[in-house]
Amino acid sequence: MTQTQWILACNTTDIPENGGACVKINDEQIAVFNFTRRGEWYATQNLCPHKKQMALSRGMIGSVGDTCEPKVACPFHKKTFSLLTGECLSGDECAIKTYSVKVIDGKVWIGV
Amino acid sequence: MIKPVVIVVGNGMVGYKFCEKLRAKSADFEIIVFGEEPRRAYDRVHLSEYFAGKTAEDLSMSTATWYAENNITLHLGDPITEIIRSTKTINSQKGIVLKYDYLIMATGSAAFVPNLPGVEKDGVFVYRTIEDLDLMKAWAAKSTSGAIMGGGLLGLEAAKALIDLGIKETHVIEFAPRLMPRQIDSAGSAILQQKLATFGLTVHLNKNTSYIAGDHKIEALKFNDDTELPLDMLVISAGIRPRDELAKLCGLEVGLRGGIVVNQSLQTSDPSIYAIGECALYDQMIYGLIAPGYEMAEVVAANLCNAQKQFNGFDMSTKLKLIGVDVASFGDAFITEPDCRTIIFEDTHKGVYKRINISNDGKQLLGGILIGDAEAYSMLLQTVNNKIVLPPNPEDLILGSRGGAAAEGAGVMNLPDEALVCSCEAVTKGDICSAVIEQDITTIDGMKKCTKAGTGCGGCIPMVKDIITGTLKENGKYIKNVICEHFDYSRQELLDLIRINKIKTYDQVLDTFGKGDGCENCKPPIASMLAGLWNEVILKQDTIQDSNDRYLANIQKGGTYSVVPRIPGGEITADKLIVIGQVAKEYNLYTKITGGQRIDLFGAHVMDLPAIWEKLIDAGFESGHAYGKSLRTVKSCVGSTWCRFGLHDSVSFAIEIENRYKGLRSPHKLKGGVSGCVRECAEAQAKDFGIIATEKGWNLYICGNGGSKPQHAQLLATDIDEATCIQYLDRFLMFYIKTADTLTRTATWLNKMDGGMAYLKNVIVNDSLGICQSLEEEIAGLIKGYVCEWKEVVDNQNLKKKFNHFVNAPNEKDPSIKFEPLREQKQAAAW
């Protein structure tokens, strides 16, 4: 197994509260979500696999079910994906990549 | 206890489904799977989606951990090479030797390749596995023309794959005189062919290929009528051949033209060996569809668990979308007169063909064919399978009821409980009803998880939805229009709660009245309520807005945005037109006149939006709110200022009204119109509110709309003056904003209202509820608080910063955005 490499992505203030924004890491587009309400951070691929649009970072986040699984909804056709597992929650068989995030001293780091 | 060992030979869709079904029934078997291909079982039915962007992993039937989680041993890339029946042992290619108690042959089929001179040449492919697809993909990159040999179901799927691969010139060669000869008739084929031609597919029928010409690599197909077709690549899809070689080798009985012979229990000539799927020959027939394969898997899994289940053949009815065209064939599609009567509907203009075959006494539906529009398929199939007696006018089944009351959707609840709704997963209507009643499943997603209905081809989903709704209604369940799972309130209830408790933020609303962390369904409507109640700039809580409201522009295909400046009443000066032209030119935007008499500028990068608006605002434009659930336009005709028929100045009145209500947030978009005379050139009666000049004043119409279900607006008041007209509009709009459900247009709001127009008229004109004064005051507050959202952004550096694609590279545009030329402008690249 390869070692996780931590890359500095942005400042915490760059990502809106309870929302997301896109960062560019090694020519890859990664959506970073600041789930302020839960005090949690998530990162996924920015590409929505449904119609291949670079848009997930502009989607609304929220939760689903009794377990409050955190999710993001693509702004194009409202396909939703788990922020924990990347699994598509709208019944489609496509999943997205998720990344680990850590926040240290106001800086957001992404594990790739 | 020693568990019986079940070895599955082959890891295709049916082999996988067998494992799933056996494991679901019992943990008391040791299951071992051998597959020839290097990857887990994948969805071959949707193989062409691999070229439309799906990955091999997307197509996979299971997650990577599924086999381990279910205690199933999987050997990939290791086919079984020998079966020794005397000792019940198998040998695999990699040298594994194992004993079995039961052996399940699920070896599937291979593409049938005709014995044609030249098939060995480079550039000739078959269409069967992901490996085949990878080879095609590599070759297609340097090809401009390609052909499919075989115009059957699989052949047309393969043709879609070639189109998706970007082959400019795609041909289909069929030996028979029609396409899909096993499913559809000649007339249907002609319609299908015509439809396919619009997608750039050339079909050649009655073509007999004599050889494949070329030097090492394919250069052309030569036909026996001495014609030829120059080609860069050829995909052979001339049928399937059951993989029965292993069965033959160990002495199992096979059919003359291939296939492992099985009985009703799907046992081969050796009772401990079963065969399922496309390798099995039952009653002289190979079943080359997925649904019967799954049924066979079910029968064997049940029999191993000592349940008595038999395979009795299978209905080969099918519905699919081929290159975007609906094609369906059901029951006895080919029976002809005098054995039956046929009703045929053919529309070569729209490309629709429908044929139903009914019994001579007119009572039973026997079968039929649908091309171009297969919406009626599920209901027709149910009518055949359940022998439902036909209505007196059976043509209604394909034409819809013409005249009289429409009986839409009433049909599904009349089906018997045993009616098979999802044939891929063998789910009956009774299964769905009981999931609704006993397990409280009310959504499609829930139903998929609970019963698996709709998880195969997906064709039954509309019917499943109708059955869920029908069952709920039949059981008198109150379907409360709650906003989403996080709130147990309707929009109207929540709006009152927010207002009374003076709550200003989304999080407070959620903490006070909801649960969980919210979602994409409750955030935008609550954002709209907060905006409507407290009149704050929506960007202050931008992440609860839908993308369009968050970026104050409409997201379009490809991820760019469109910009619509307000042009009240459709009146614009030459100077302002010039500015729009200059901005469009500078930022390379596609421009189009909208239906609401304004100009839409498409293709703007998110980072360019503030600069674009700065220029527009400098020229005196304001936001057009095309992105919001709010007032769009008030369309006008030119009226008495120029028109020789005009009674009053409709343009000035339209401008006044548009400016009055601009920025108003509402449950859905709002559109208005003002016409200067009864000729109604502004089409005001198709709007949420429409005003038409009369000799004595204005007539006011409300609650109309265009869109998918057009509805004319209804007359609220006649011959009123302008002040009264505005007063009524104030009351009407505020009453709508306060009482309508989220995303309900005014027409639907009125349709659902008890008492209808008479009631609404009483509220607005006669103040029957005694609320008109407060309605007027509330809307006056909203009107007074209007600000142009884009001006706020342009004047605020912090707000401007939100308009970047990359937060860590603010000056870089999204490199994935692509355009294609379109006439003298451009369009978004296809997805």
CATH number at residue A77: 2.102.10.10
Around Cβ A64, how many Cβ atoms within 10 Å?
20
> Does any domain span residue B468?
yes
Contacts of B307 (CB under 8 A, 6+ apart): none
Query: How many angstroms separate the CA of residue A21 from the nearest CA in chain B?
Result: 7
d(CA B711, CA B247): 65
Pick from A21, A68, A78: CB nearest B520: A78
Q: List C-alpha distances in Å: B707 to A75, B336, B671, B686, B814.
A: 22, 42, 12, 9, 33
Pick from B555, B557, B809: CB nearest A75: B555
* Closest residue by Cα to residue B793 from B575, B616, B530, B578: B616
**Model pLDDT for residues B370-425, shown as the tens digit of each residue:** 999 888 888 888 888 888 888 778 888 888 755 443 343 346 777 888 888 887 78
What mean pLDDT comes out for the span A6-19? Answer: 92
Query: How many angstroms separate the CA of residue A3 from the nearest CA in chain B?
Result: 21
Q: Does A68 touch chain B (CB under 8 A)?
A: yes
d(CA B159, CA B161): 5
| B546 pLDDT tier (thresholds 50, 70, 90) | confident
Backbone angles phi, psi at B752, to 5 degrees: -85, -10
- First-last CA distance in chain B: 56
Q: Are residues B455 and B533 in the same domain?
A: no
Q: Does A31 touch chain B (CB under 8 A)?
A: no
Compute the mean pLDDT over every residue in chain B, rounded to the nearest whole number.
Answer: 89
Interchain proximity A59–B547, CB inside 8 Å: yes
d(CA B780, CA B761): 21
d(CA B159, CA B4): 45
What mean pLDDT comes out for the span B735-743? Answer: 87
Give the residues across from B365 on adjacent strands.
Answer: B358
Chain A residues with beta carbon closer than 8 angstroms to that of B440: none
**Model pLDDT for residues B29-39, shown as the tens digit of each residue:** 999 999 999 98
Q: Are residues B189 and B118 in the same domain?
A: yes
Interchain proximity B806–A17, CB inside 8 Å: no
| pLDDT of amino acid B539 | 62
> Does any domain span residue B816?
no
Tokens 């009567």: give the residue.
Answer: B341
Whether residue B480 has pLDDT greater than 80: no
Pick from A47, A49, A68: CB nearest B516: A68
* B367: helix, strand or coil: strand
Around Cβ B500, how many Cβ atoms within 10 Å?
8
ipTM of the complex, rounded to two decimals: 0.89
What mean pLDDT comes out for the span B531-550? Answer: 76
Query: How many angstroms separate the CA of residue B516 from the nearest CA in chain A?
Result: 6
Q: Are residues B101 and B118 in the same domain?
A: no
More confident residue, B419 or B661: B661
Around Cβ B695, how many Cβ atoms within 10 Å?
9
Q: Are residues B41 and B87 in the same domain?
A: yes
Interchain proximity A21–B807, CB inside 8 Å: yes
> Does any domain span residue B356?
yes
Q: Are residues B260 and B226 in the same domain?
A: no
Contacts of B476 (CB under 8 A, 6+ apart): none
> Does any domain span residue B792?
no
- Nearest chain B residue to A15 by CA distance is B807
Interchain proximity A52–B54, CB inside 8 Å: no
**Model pLDDT for residues B567-580, shown as the tens digit of each residue:** 999 999 999 999 99
HSE-up of B272 (CA within 13 Å, CB side)?
Answer: 16
Query: How many angstroms separate the CA of residue A101 from the nearest CA in chain B?
Result: 16
d(CA B545, CA B539): 8
* B49: helix, strand or coil: helix
The pLDDT > 90 percentage for chain B reads: 51
Query: How many angstroms separate the CA of residue B455 from the nearest CA in chain A?
Result: 8
Q: How many separate domains does chain B show?
A: 6
Q: What angle do CA B362, B366, B369 make, to 5 degrees?
A: 115
Q: Are residues B106 and B228 in the same domain?
A: no
Interchain proximity A54–B816, CB inside 8 Å: yes
Q: Does A16 touch chain B (CB under 8 A)?
A: yes
**Model pLDDT for residues B314-349, shown as the tens digit of each residue:** 878 888 877 778 899 998 888 888 889 999 998 888
**Model pLDDT for residues B123-179, shown as the tens digit of each residue:** 999 988 888 889 999 999 899 999 999 998 888 888 888 888 889 899 999 999 999
Domain with residue B728: its CATH number is 3.30.413.10
Mutation pick from A28, A32, A33, A60 vs chain B, by most beta carbons of B within 10 Å, is: A60
Q: Does A73 touch chain B (CB under 8 A)?
A: yes
Q: Does A23 touch chain B (CB under 8 A)?
A: yes
| B13-25 vs B290-304: helix crossing angle, rounded to 10 | 30
Q: Does A58 touch chain B (CB under 8 A)?
A: yes
Domain with residue B461: its CATH number is 1.10.10.1100
The pLDDT > 70 percentage for chain B reads: 97
β B30-34/B5-9 pair status = parallel
**Model pLDDT for residues B235-290, shown as the tens digit of each residue:** 999 888 999 999 999 999 999 889 999 999 999 999 999 999 999 999 999 998 88
> Does any domain span residue A10?
no
Chain B residues with beta carbon closer than 8 angstroms to that of A51: 557, 831
Around Cβ B112, how many Cβ atoms within 10 Å?
15
Domain with B637 in it: 554-784
Query: How many angstroms separate the CA of residue A4 from the nearest CA in chain B?
Result: 21
**Model pLDDT for residues B425-466, shown as the tens digit of each residue:** 888 899 999 998 888 888 887 888 888 888 776 677 778 888
| pLDDT of amino acid B1 | 67
Amino acid at B4: P
Backbone angles phi, psi at B154, to 5 degrees: -65, -35
Q: List C-alpha distances in Å: B670 to B164, B742, B748.
A: 40, 13, 13
Mutation pick from A93, A101, A108, A110 vs chain B, by most beta carbons of B within 10 Å, is: A93
Q: Are residues B163 and B124 in the same domain?
A: yes
Q: Does A78 touch chain B (CB under 8 A)?
A: yes
* Closest residue by Cα to residue B625 from B668, B655, B656, B586: B668
> Does any domain span residue A7?
no
Q: Are residues B89 and B171 in the same domain?
A: no
> Does any domain span residue B30?
yes
Q: Are residues B643 and B494 in the same domain?
A: no
Amino acid at B451: T
Q: List C-alpha distances in Å: B766 to B266, B342, B736.
A: 76, 59, 17
The token pair that represents B546 in the structure block: 């839908």
Q: Does A84 touch chain B (CB under 8 A)?
A: no
d(CA B553, CA B108): 52
Interchain proximity B53–A52, CB inside 8 Å: yes
- CB burial readout A12-28, b (16+ within 10 A) else e: bebbbebbbbbbbbeee
> Does any domain span residue B122?
yes
**Model pLDDT for residues B354-366, shown as the tens digit of each residue:** 999 999 888 889 9
> Does any domain span residue B17?
yes
Pick from A18, A38, A93: CB nearest B543: A18
d(CA A15, CA B537): 20
d(CA B417, CA B439): 17
What mean pLDDT comes out for the span B120-125? Answer: 93
Chain A residues with beta carbon closer than 8 angstroms to that of B13: none
Query: How many angstroms separate the CA of residue B778 from the nearest CA in chain A?
Result: 30
Pick from A47, A62, A75: CB nearest B519: A62
Q: Does A7 touch chain B (CB under 8 A)?
A: no
Chain B residues with beta carbon closer than 8 angstroms to that of A73: 519-520
Chain B residues with beta carbon closer than 8 angstroms to that of A97: none
Query: How many angstroms separate the CA of residue B816 from the nearest CA in chain A?
Result: 7
**Model pLDDT for residues B674-729, shown as the tens digit of each residue:** 999 999 999 999 999 999 999 999 999 999 988 777 889 999 999 999 999 999 99
Chain A residues with beta carbon closer than 8 angstroms to that of B548: 75
Pick from A14, A65, A90: CB nearest B807: A14
| pLDDT of amino acid B203 | 94
Whether residue B638 has pLDDT greater than 90: yes
Mutation pick from A36, A58, A77 vs chain B, by most beta carbons of B within 10 Å, is: A58
Chain B residues with beta carbon closer than 8 angstroms to that of A43: none
Burial class of B165 by CB neighbour count within 10 A (0 to 12, 13 to 18, 19+) = buried
Domain with residue B231: its CATH number is 3.50.50.60
**Model pLDDT for residues B197-243, shown as the tens digit of each residue:** 888 899 999 999 999 999 899 999 999 999 999 999 999 998 889 99
- The lowest-confidence range among A53-57, A89-93, B525-529, B556-560 is A89-93
> Does any domain span residue A30?
yes
Interchain proximity B814–A54, CB inside 8 Å: yes
Q: Does A86 touch chain B (CB under 8 A)?
A: no
- Nearest chain B residue to A58 by CA distance is B547
Q: How many separate domains does chain A show?
A: 1
Query: How many angstroms separate the CA of residue A2 from the nearest CA in chain B?
Result: 19
> Does any domain span residue A2?
no
d(CA B743, CA B738): 13
- First-last CA distance in chain A: 13
Size of the A and B interface in Cβ pairs below 8 Å:
119
* B314: helix, strand or coil: coil
Amino acid at B493: E
Q: Are residues B149 and B169 in the same domain?
A: yes
Give the residues across from A45 on adjacent strands.
Answer: A30
CB B242 within 8 A of CB B109: yes
Burial class of B797 by CB neighbour count within 10 A (0 to 12, 13 to 18, 19+) = exposed
Interchain proximity A53–B831, CB inside 8 Å: yes
Q: Are residues B693 and B774 in the same domain?
A: yes
Domain with A80 in it: 16-101
Interchain proximity A52–B831, CB inside 8 Å: yes
Chain A residues with beta carbon closer than 8 angstroms to that of B448: 91
Q: Does A79 touch chain B (CB under 8 A)?
A: no
Helices (DSSP H) in B114-268: which residue ranges? 130-140, 153-164, 186-197, 245-249
> Does any domain span residue B149?
yes
Interchain proximity A18–B58, CB inside 8 Å: no
Give the residues across from B42 on adjacent strands.
Answer: B60
**Of B372, B401, B430, which marks where a domain is finished?**
B401
| pLDDT of amino acid B537 | 61
Query: How many angstroms separate the CA of residue B602 from the nearest CA in chain A?
Result: 16
R_g over Cα of chain B: 32
Q: Are residues B439 and B500 in the same domain?
A: no
**Model pLDDT for residues B786-824, shown as the tens digit of each residue:** 889 899 899 988 888 888 899 888 888 888 888 988 898
Chain B residues with beta carbon closer than 8 angstroms to that of A80: 519-520
d(CA B147, CA B155): 10
Query: How many angstroms separate the CA of residue B407 from the nearest CA in chain A?
Result: 31
